[in-house]
Structure 1
Amino acid sequence: MTGPPPPNTYGNGSSATANSNAPAGNSSGSNTAATSPTPKPPYARSGRRYDAEASTREPSRTPTARLPYGKPRHCPPTNKEPTTTAGRLRYELNRRGVHPAVIRYCDEELIRQSLFHAVFEATKGVAQRLRQMCGLNTDGNALVEACLLPRIGTTLMHINGYQSVSDTSEQNGFVNLIKGIFGTFRNPPAHTTRATGLWNLTEADALDLFSMLSFVHRRLDGTRVIPTI
């Protein structure tokens, strides 16, 4: 009398008969553990070598490691982060909403990244606009006084109604403001050279000046020119 045929064995030594003939849910825990295949590491499917210590190893600190929020250490400059002098100034001028006349008078100097000449040209732009509005050929303080201070009982330009004492005081203060800009930012670079370094101006000071010049141009936008007889 012959016995039952030997079970078919596989590479892991598990019995095919035990897997196929045993009803679902009837096999004991020991049989299930013996017959279940060994789970493969996730790297086995991709062909890469599995490293059991990879999860506990500290990440390498390379120059390309990423900072918090996913920003790389050495990222190229974007449009919102200009690096050149002209790019930074233009970005900040646009953010502040500076009057277009300010940029128009010093646009070429900004492109050449010459802060020294950009401030000089932007300041001279105020005098040029006063000459165009009043039709005068003078310059400096004489130009400002001829346009905005009373001359033979009247003025050539009114930045307000010029009816009350307060209006007159405001216009006189506007005159002093332009004179102060000329004396502080136009005369020093006109009498010195950039190479000597005797007159230095930071980017922060230049931006504040451009904001003041923008205020002057906006007041000139609403100025009434009094026709001369």
Structure 2
Amino acid sequence: MFYFIKFVLNLRNLVYCMAKKIFSPIDGGTLEGIAKILGHKEYGLTGTELSRFIPEAGLNDIDPTNTKWKRLFNSFVDFQNRSRNSNTILKFVNITMKPSRFIGRNDQFEFMRGELNKRLSFIGLTLNDAGVFNPIDTSRTIREAELRVNRFKSKLENRNIHSKIYEYCNTELISENYFHSVFEAVKSVFEEIRRKSNLTLDGGELIDKAFSIKNPILKINALQTETEISEQKGFANFLKGIFGMFRNTTAHAPKIVWNIGEDEALDIMTTVSLIHKKLENTCL
């Protein structure tokens, strides 16, 4: 009930503010980007929803037989050419991005909101999690826009990912490049092992030397009991598996062949984070 009341108040404030303020026309590139997100063939609005929301927002559906994003873009352009403002276009975004429409589809909502906010940042607006616009400093570059909206990094932060992940692959995380994020994250594990052990080896040789049972350089426990010895062996084998499955694959397979989605990347990064937490507490 609290969140519903909050949404109603925010929406009322938005309507009040938009009634008083005239928003400048949105440039063609940004307008096209917004239309492509809202009219995307996989995660965007359906044709039926466009037929409903275009007139509801006060736009003219001037090209109903065209592809979804072009149909929407043409409606946007028609309005701006006639009115010389973007108020009704922003109203359309607000209507279609009401959180209540996405119950049970939060991932879709957050994805669309994030992609819209990258475009909206170029006109000094952001759509908050209540589906309401807030003013922000205008983005001037792609990097600025991506820094403002990074769903992948936000999800990693929610998983309490180890800080070493951000040290080794910050640029890739900012650009949401899952393939290279995984590659850099896995490389970070072996770089940390070399740093802590003062070894210059790589792969299996590095792991066998650093986590040897008889002459270990690094120990994840006291190695006094069979259980502790088994844990050390298991951790070493775990590292070898990570190296073989992800480091070798990402190093030798082109991105187009070895495709990594967001969910898989999150799981891999969480696993790498666990390894870093273990390495942080190793004994010399």
TM-score range, shorter chain: 0.5 to 0.7
Question: Cα RMSD between the aligned structures?
Answer: 3.0
1:26-105 matches, cutoff 5 A: 61-62=56-57, 63=92, 65=95, 67=98, 76-78=126-128, 87-105=150-168
Whether 2:256 is the aligned partner of 1:201: answer: no
Find the partner of 1:190 among 232, 239, 251: 251
Q: Could you list the per-position Cα deviations for residues 2-48 of structure 1 after superposition, in whole angstroms to 9, with x for gaps in the alignment?
A: xxxxxxxxxxxxxxxxxxxxxxxxxxxxxxxxxxxxxxxxxxxxxxx
Unaligned runs of 5+ in 1: 1-59
Higher RCO (CA-CA < 8 Å; seq separation 6+): 1
In 1, distance between residues paired with 2:247 and 2:280?
22
Q: C-alpha separation between the residues in 2 aligned to 1:154 and 1:79?
A: 54
Distance of 1:116 and 1:167 partners within structure 2: 35
Shift of 1:111: 2.1
User: Residues 100-121 of structure 1, C-alpha deviation per residue, up to 9 Å, x if partnerless?
Assistant: 0012111111123322111101
Q: TM-score, normalised by structure 2?
A: 0.51
For the residues of structure 2 that align with 1:213 and 1:79, how far apart are their CA atoms? 30
1:101-116 correspondence to structure 2 within 5 Å: 101-116=164-179
**Structure that is richer in helix per residue:** 2
Q: Unpaired segments of 5 or more residues in structure 2?
A: 1-54, 58-91, 103-108, 114-125, 132-144
- State the number of aligned residues: 160
Q: Which amino acid aligns with 1:78?
A: N
Q: 1:102 to 1:79 in 2, by over 3 A?
A: farther
2:189 to 123, 126, 144: 126
Amino acid aligned to 2:217: L
1:217 to 276, 280, 284: 276
CA distance in 1, matches of 2:156, 2:275: 15
Note if contact 2:219-2:282 (Cα within 8 Å) is conserved in structure 1. yes
Distance 2:252 2:100 in 1: 51
| Match of residue 216 from structure 2 | 155
The 2-side partners of 1:206 and 1:154 are apart by 35
Aligned pairs for 1:144-183 (under 5 A) are 144-150=207-213, 153-183=214-244
TM-score (norm 1): 0.62
Cα distance in 2 between the residues matched to 1:179 and 1:187: 11
In the TM superposition, what whole-angstrom CA distance separates every residue of 1:40-93 from its partner, at most 9, and x where no partner exists? xxxxxxxxxxxxxxxxxxxx733354858699x997433799x96971111011
